[in-house]
Structures are given as structure tokens and as C-alpha cells.
């Protein structure tokens, strides 16, 4: 009898513990995804807020924040407001990687957004795979980010090599056959070089000269002297805004008749302002529709949100705006139970989506985004004309 009583007591104690455990498992909160709370979605960004590209970055961030602000005012994503935490990498690849690690490990962001620079984004790539965290809309068109689909990287802008191809074809079309290249000696510049050599061969043209310079401490006087000596009719410049502006001023002083062209990474009002009188006639490729045009739904939406947030229209601001729009669309498609994996799936469900005059497309095998490229020229008033 005593043994039976003891057994019953032990059985009742075990049953009680089991019931408590079951109750706790039902009532305890499910662990939330990194960067997601009931009221917020934390997104991380590392970008050159100061340094060589501070001007374009300021415009790009203003465009992105205009869209995020409008989204938050309209209730956010399933009741959650977007918070963008930005760290300054000073346009230094090593600092970009360190910042990304801080955002992931310390700040626990849901995703990374709009890095800037080819070597800078390359430095971040290993972190994406190791932490299974997506990076949306890196502001670089380097081929390395397009050749093989990276599950954790979603491009928005078109490839640099597509811009280079369009530039050289335009030179050839208007009768400029003696073409030189100036490029920064890093992965961005080398990508431009590869595209240049490819399209020149397609056009059955030989470069008049190819001139490279260091990114950190460029010796631009020697590069300009070498380029001008070759007597080109046109020069394509693949470099960041600060170096490109200095090159254009020096080239104009040496020979104002050379037709100059650069890429969309310099498509900001701050770059045009820096050029001043030397900017007239400079050609530039663009990877976004005209920010001042109201001919499309995207242009009308941008104008409305830009005005509400005090943002001056520019191609750089439009890039930030479109990038934010893509991220928000992915978050919406990810559903209420937001995770990094559901965000990836949400973005991959965007098949040939028209966002108001610009087509973007993703799938499990394609993270390329947009293929839009057009050419513009700076007029005497410092405005881009098409």
C-alpha cells in the first residue's frame, strides 16, 4: 500500500511538471527574428557619409528616407515602422566590412541596405552568407555581383558594363573613333576596363590610350598629361565623384574640345555643382529615370514624397528612392511573420514588376533587378538633358 501511494505521488509530480512545461511552451513568446519587434523593423546601412562620395551619398540617402518616411506615416509594414540605422564607412572598404559586422552582430538588424562602392560591397559579401542576411540595393553595378546569383544579394541598378557599352556606342555613332579610358585601379575601375575592352572590340576600334590611377592617392596630373598626349577625341572616365571632377577640370584646361563621358555613379547634383563651368557638355550614363520628369507614375510619386520631405530632385536621390521602394515591396510580400528568409522569398516573388515606369524583376535564379540605362548631357545651366 505504501509503495503504491509513493508511486502515485511521484506520478502526480511528474504529470504536474509536464503540464507546466506544456503550458509554458504555449504561453511563452516565440523568439522574434533579428531586427523585428511588434512595432519596428530595423534595417542597417554602411555607406560613405563622409569622404570622397559624401555629396552623392547625401542625396541618395535623402531619396531613400523620403520613401521610408512616407511608408511609416501610412502605418508602416503590417503596423511596424522602418528604422534605418546608418554607419559611416568613410568610403573605406575595411571600415565597410567592420560596420556591417557591427550592424549584424551587435545591432541585430533584419537586413542590410544600399552599401556604396564595388570593393566596399565585396568586403561585405562573406558576412551575408555566414549570417544568412540579405543586402538589398547595393549602389554598384559591378559585374561580379551579377555573374552568379547570390541568394543574399539583390541588385537594383543596371550593370556598369552596360553603361560603358552604351557610352562607347554613342561615341562611335557621333563619329568619335579615337577613344581613351581613364579608370581607378580597383575592382570598380577594372570592371569598367573589362567592359570597355569588350565593347571596343565589338565596335572594331582600338583604344587610343588606357590610363589608370590609384584610388587612395591618385596622381591625376600625370594621368591627364598621358591621356592628352595621345590626342583622343573622346575620353570615358570610370572613377568616383571627387577624382572624376578633378580629372574633368584638368582635361578641360588642357584641351576643351575633347568629348568627356562618365558613369551613373557620379549622377548627383553635388557632382554637377562641383564641376561648375567645366561641366557643360559632359555626357553621363544614367540607371534611373529622370527625377524631374512627371511623365511616369514613378516620377509623380517621387516629386510628391520629395517635396514633403524637402528633398531636391536628382538622379542620386531617385536611386535611393527606388531602392527603398524595392525594399518596402519585399517587406510587404514577406508577410506578417517577418524573417530574413521570408524577406528573401518576398523579393524573389517580384517577377517583372512595374513600379511606375521602371521594370524590376527577381526570381530564385535572378537577382539582377533593373536593366535600365540611358545617356544624358550636362547643359550650360548645370542640368541634365536627354
Q: Are residues 224 and 236 in the same domain?
A: yes
**Within-domain flag for 211:** yes
1 falls within a domain? no
Are residues 201 and 93 located together in one domain of the fold? no
**Pairs from 242-248 (Cβ < 8 Å, separation ≥ 24):** 242/52, 242/53, 243/52, 243/184, 243/213, 243/215, 243/218, 244/271, 245/271, 245/274, 245/275, 246/220, 247/182, 247/220, 247/223, 248/275, 248/278, 248/279, 248/282
pLDDT computed for residue 94 by the predictor? 97
In a domain, 23, yes or no: no
In which element (H, E) is residue 321 found?
helix 315-334
Q: What is the pLDDT of residue 44?
A: 98
> Which of 265, 286, 307 is the last residue before a domain boundary?
286
Mark which of 286, 314, 349 sits at the end of a domain: 286
Check residue 22 and give its pLDDT.
Answer: 43
What total number of domains does the chain contain? 2
Is there a single domain that holds both residue 219 and residue 326?
Answer: no
| pLDDT for residue 33 | 87
Res 2: pLDDT: 43
Let me know if residue 32 belongs to a domain: no
pLDDT of residue 23: 41
**What gap in Å lies between CA 172 and CA 341, rounded to an integer?**
46
Looking at the structure, tell me whether residues 151 and 166 fall in a common domain: no
In a domain, 309, yes or no: yes
- My answer on whether 314 and 358 are in the same domain is yes
Residues (pLDDT < 70) of the chain are 1-32
Residue 72's domain spans which residues? 40-158+293-372
On whether residue 26 sits in a domain, the answer given is no
Same domain, 170 and 280: yes
Looking at the structure, do residues 152 and 46 belong to the same domain, yes or no? yes
Q: Considering the entire predicted model, what is its pTM? A: 0.89
304 domain residue, yes or no: yes
Check whether residue 270 and residue 165 sit in a common domain.
yes
Query: pLDDT value at position 32?
Result: 65
Q: Of 90, 96, 105, 110, nearest to 36 (Cα)?
A: 110
Residues 202 and 262 placed together within one structural domain of the fold: yes
pLDDT in tens, 119-128: 999 999 999 9
Q: What is the CATH number of the domain that holds 69?
A: 3.40.50.2300
Amino acid at each position: 500500500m505504501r509503495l503504491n501511494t509513493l508511486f502515485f505521488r511521484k506520478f502526480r509530480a511528474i504529470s504536474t511538471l509536464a503540464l507546466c512545461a506544456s503550458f509554458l511552451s504555449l504561453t511563452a513568446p516565440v523568439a522574434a527574428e533579428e531586427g523585428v519587434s511588434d512595432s519596428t523593423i530595423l534595417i542597417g546601412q554602411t555607406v560613405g557619409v563622409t569622404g570622397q562620395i559624401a555629396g552623392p551619398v547625401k542625396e541618395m540617402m535623402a531619396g531613400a528616407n523620403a520613401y521610408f518616411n512616407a511608408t511609416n506615416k501610412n502605418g508602416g509594414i503590417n503596423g511596424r515602422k522602418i528604422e534605418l540605422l546608418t554607419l559611416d564607412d568613410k568610403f573605406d572598404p575595411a571600415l565597410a566590412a567592420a560596420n556591417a559586422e557591427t550592424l549584424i552582430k551587435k545591432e541585430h538588424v533584419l537586413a542590410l541596405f544600399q552599401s556604396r562602392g564595388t570593393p566596399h560591397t565585396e568586403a561585405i559579401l562573406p558576412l551575408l552568407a555566414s549570417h544568412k542576411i540579405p543586402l538589398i540595393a547595393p549602389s554598384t553595378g559591378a559585374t561580379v555581383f551579377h555573374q552568379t546569383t547570390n541568394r543574399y544579394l539583390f541588385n537594383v541598378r543596371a550593370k556598369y558594363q552596360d553603361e560603358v557599352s552604351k557610352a562607347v556606342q554613342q561615341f562611335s555613332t557621333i563619329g568619335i573613333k579615337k577613344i581613351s579610358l581613364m579608370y581607378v585601379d580597383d575592382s570598380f575601375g577594372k570592371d569598367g576596363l573589362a567592359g570597355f575592352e569588350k565593347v571596343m572590340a565589338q565596335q572594331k576600334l582600338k583604344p587610343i590610350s588606357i590610363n589608370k590611377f590609384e584610388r587612395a592617392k591618385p596622381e591625376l596630373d600625370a594621368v591627364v598629361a598621358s591621356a592628352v598626349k595621345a590626342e583622343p577625341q573622346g575620353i570615358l572616365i570610370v572613377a568616383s565623384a571627387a577624382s572624376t571632377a578633378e580629372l574633368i577640370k584638368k582635361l578641360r584646361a588642357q584641351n576643351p574640345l575633347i568629348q568627356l563621358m562618365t558613369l551613373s555613379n557620379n549622377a548627383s547634383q553635388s557632382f554637377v555643382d562641383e564641376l561648375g563651368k567645366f561641366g557643360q557638355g559632359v555626357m553621363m550614363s544614367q540607371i534611373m529615370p529622370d527625377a524631374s520628369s512627371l511623365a511616369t507614375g514613378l516620377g509623380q510619386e517621387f516629386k510628391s514624397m520629395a517635396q514633403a520631405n524637402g528633398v531636391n530632385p536628382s538622379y542620386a536621390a531617385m536611386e535611393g528612392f527606388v531602392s527603398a521602394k524595392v525594399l518596402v515591396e519585399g517587406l510587404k510580400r514577406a508577410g506578417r511573420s517577418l524573417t530574413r528568409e521570408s524577406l528573401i522569398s518576398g523579393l524573389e516573388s517580384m517577377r517583372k514588376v512595374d513600379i511606375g515606369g521602371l521594370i524590376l524583376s527577381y526570381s530564385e535564379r535572378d537577382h539582377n533587378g533593373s536593366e535600365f540605362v540611358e545617356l544624358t548631357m550636362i547643359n550650360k545651366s548645370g542640368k541634365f538633358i536627354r
